Homo-oligomer: A and B are copies of this chain.
């Protein structure tokens, strides 16, 4: 199974909103998400499963991916907002593999997404992956057994590097 960890697009500045969670995508962030949907479709990387953090800027990003045809209607999942413990997402990851999902996308936040990726690939989070807003991490999970420290990293990109 391929797992795409997608950071929400650029959000509006926190100072204009009552809480961090209330921040919507900025105009640039909406464009980033729309463009990413186009790219994923062009690359043949439409996802079978699209899960999103319930926080507004992630939910809006996932919605734009869906509207752009890059995946099904997104399902909100609290675990994507509450990281960064990898244990919070491992059981569901296992379930997706059992269902023989080919491509799953999780839309969420830093530092959780980058930490999870490092833990899946190298066994521990190290804070060395640079994941920009609307950036993507592409992981190849092993067919069986624990994916922790055993997944391959095949893609890391950002809007600027995929214009």
The residues of A with any CB-CB pair to B shorter than 8 Å are 42-43, 118, 121-122, 126, 128-130, 138, 140, 151-158, 160-163
| Interface residue from B43, B155, B161 paired with A43 (Cβ < 8 Å) | B161
Interface pair A130/B158, CB less than 8 Å apart: no
A36 to chain B, nearest CB (A): 13
Q: Which residue of B lies closest to A137 (CB)?
A: B156
In the complex, how many angstroms separate the beta carbon of A1 from the nearest chain B beta carbon?
15
The 7 A-B pairs of least Cβ separation, nearest first, read A130-B154, A156-B156, A121-B128, A130-B152, A122-B122, A128-B152, A122-B126
Q: How far is the CB of A107 from chain B (nearest CB, A)?
A: 19
Q: Across the interface, do B152 and A155 meet the contact criterion of CB distance under 8 Å?
A: no
Residues of B within 8 A of A152 (CB): 128-130
A163 to B43, alpha carbons, bound, how many Å?
8
CB distance from A42 to the nearest CB of B (A): 7
Q: Smallest distance from the beta carbon of A147 to chain B beta carbons, Å? A: 11
* CB-based contact B154/A158 at 8 Å: yes
Residue pair A43, B153 in contact (C-beta under 8 Å): no
A122 to B123, CA, bound (A): 11
**CB nearest to A138 among chain B residues:** B161
Distance to closest chain B CB from A63 (angstroms): 24
By a CB distance below 8 angstroms, the chain B residues around A42 are: 163
A130 to B153, CA, bound (A): 6
A126 to B124, CA, bound (A): 12
Contacts of A161 in B (CB 8 A): 43, 138, 154-155, 157
